[in-house]
């Protein structure tokens, strides 16, 4: 460092800040004096410099080096704001990422749980798929819903089921589904519809389930109605009670008094006519009732089943949108189907938003019949291919088929 008389050239980093006289009081000179202490050797009266924004500096009025905030306030404030914004964005992104990960995890769990609940087993799934025909994307399709009935240990009695090892698809509903217009059309297949087997013998169509399971029933209904069936769902009557109870009951119109004695407990259960909210056990009685009607027993039963099915659908779809996945998962444990989770979710989403925004049509296939001696003296519906063709022509268009005359074309022996 060069020194000249009366002038000290200090701190070349700051472009030779100067002082005049022998007393050096520049900011950087305070540490230039060497000796016993940090400020030893300083001129008489020397005071260490303090930052301008310190309390002591402000109190004594000492000269201080300007801070960056004082020199460049706009720039510093902009940097601080940018820093805060960056950290806020990082926090938001972290929260969104956490929600996405949780959502993905729940989605995977939900898919697995729903598939497991709906699965009919690998062997039956494979057999059912062979009988089904894939639908075209975006087009209406048909689903066959079977209600299979085994009375073993059920507390109900019917001499047709005395052995307890027989299962029949006493409820067969062919459903046309059109998500694009939120429309369902339910066609019940009378259980007494004749079915000719390969050996030429004639049985009721509900026997197909006991003979060849779901695949045989699917093929029989498809041949009868002349439409391809793309999906299949199966509900056991014992599970119908659970479905209704999980929904908190359903409301239907009961057209006659139904009185029933439980074979296990001896308890008599009576359902009064009129609009009634039924629990699971009462819903079973309502769906099975036949002998309470003097005539057209199976026709009354079909009407009851369709009304109950419609009530269940409406109750499920009227659930709040955010709760719909839980409702679907809860009911899935009572249903077996070939449909996979993405298809179920897509279908539920299409019809979500309340039953008031959808259209449901329902009707029955030809049901006129009589005792058929050639079939061993059992009661069978008459052969009626024309009646079925006329009915399905209307169903296929998406129109209301309830007024179609399906019995006048029956072939009476």
Write the burial class of residue 68 (CB in 10 Å: 0-12 exposed, 13-18 middle, 19+ buried).
exposed
Question: Is pLDDT above 80 for 223?
Answer: yes
Q: Which of 14-28, 43-57, 179-193, 293-307 has the highest mean pLDDT?
A: 179-193
Within this chain, do residues 75 and 201 fall inside the same structural domain, yes or no? Answer: no
Q: What is the pLDDT of residues 248-292, one digit of tens each?
A: 999 999 999 998 887 788 888 899 999 999 999 999 999 988 888
How many domains does the chain fold into? 3
Residue in 190, 252, 231 with CA at minimum distance from that of residue 337: 231
pLDDT confidence of residue 346: 83
User: Which one is predicted more confidently, 80 or 389?
Assistant: 389
Tell me the residue range of the domain where 15 lies.
3-65
Does a structural domain hold residue 76? yes
Q: Report the distance separating Cα 131 and Cα 120, nearest Å.
A: 15
Does a structural domain hold residue 358? yes
- Least-confidence region, from 54-68, 111-125, 161-175, 325-339: 54-68
Does a structural domain hold residue 194? yes
Does a structural domain hold residue 407? no
Within this chain, do residues 270 and 376 fall inside the same structural domain, yes or no? Answer: yes
CATH number at 305 reads 3.40.630.190
Within this chain, do residues 232 and 305 fall inside the same structural domain, yes or no? Answer: yes
Question: Is pLDDT above 70 for 162?
Answer: no
Does a structural domain hold residue 402? no
Within this chain, do residues 106 and 164 fall inside the same structural domain, yes or no? Answer: no
Within this chain, do residues 286 and 328 fall inside the same structural domain, yes or no? Answer: yes
Q: 118, 137, 155: which is the final residue of a domain? A: 118
Within this chain, do residues 60 and 90 fall inside the same structural domain, yes or no? Answer: no
Whole-prediction pTM:
0.69
Q: By the 8 A CB rule, do 20 and 26 touch? A: no
Within this chain, do residues 218 and 366 fall inside the same structural domain, yes or no? Answer: yes
Please give the mean pLDDT across all residues of the chain.
Answer: 76
């Amino acid at each position: 460092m060069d020194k000249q008389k009366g002038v000290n050239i200090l701190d070349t980093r700051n472009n030779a800040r100067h002082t005049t006289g022998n007393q050096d009081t520049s900011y950087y000179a305070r540490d230039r004096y060497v000796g016993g202490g940090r400020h030893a050797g300083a001129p008489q009266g020397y005071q260490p410099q303090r930052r301008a924004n310190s309390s002591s500096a402000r109190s004594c009025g000492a000269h201080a080096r300007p801070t960056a905030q004082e020199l460049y306030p706009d720039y510093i404030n902009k940097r601080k704001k940018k820093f805060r914004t960056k950290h806020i964005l990082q926090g938001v992104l972290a929260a969104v990422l956490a929600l996405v990960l949780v959502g993905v995890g729940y989605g995977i769990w939900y898919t697995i749980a729903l598939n497991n609940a709906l699965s009919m087993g690998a062997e039956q799934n494979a057999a059912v798929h062979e009988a089904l025909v894939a639908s075209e994307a975006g087009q209406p399709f048909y689903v066959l819903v079977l209600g299979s009935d085994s009375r073993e240990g059920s507390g109900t009695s019917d001499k047709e089921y005395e052995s307890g090892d027989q299962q029949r698809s006493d409820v067969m509903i062919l459903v046309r589904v059109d998500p694009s217009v939120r429309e369902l059309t339910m066609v019940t297949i009378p259980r007494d519809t004749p079915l000719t087997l390969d050996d030429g013998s004639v049985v009721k169509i509900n026997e197909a389930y006991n003979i060849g399971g779901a695949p045989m029933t699917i093929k029989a209904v498809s041949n009868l109605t002349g439409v391809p069936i793309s999906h299949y769902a199966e509900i056991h009557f014992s599970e119908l009670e659970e479905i209704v109870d999980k929904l908190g009951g359903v409301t239907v119109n009961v057209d006659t008094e139904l009185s029933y004695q439980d074979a296990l407990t001896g308890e008599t259960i009576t359902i009064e006519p009129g609009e009634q909210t039924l629990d699971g056990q009462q819903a079973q009685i309502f769906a099975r009732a036949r002998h309470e009607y003097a005539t057209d027993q199976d026709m009354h039963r079909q009407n009851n089943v369709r009304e109950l099915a419609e009530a269940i659908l409406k109750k499920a779809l009227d659930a709040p949108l955010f709760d719909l996945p839980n409702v679907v998962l809860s009911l899935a444990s009572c249903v077996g189907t070939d449909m996979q989770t993405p298809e179920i979710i897509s279908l539920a989403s299409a019809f979500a938003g309340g039953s008031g925004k959808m259209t449901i049509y329902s009707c029955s296939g030809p049901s006129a019949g009589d005792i058929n001696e050639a079939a061993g003296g059992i009661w069978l519906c008459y052969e009626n291919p024309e009646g079925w063709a006329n009915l399905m022509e209307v169903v296929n268009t998406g129109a209301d088929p309830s007024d179609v005359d399906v019995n006048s074309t029956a072939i009476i022996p």
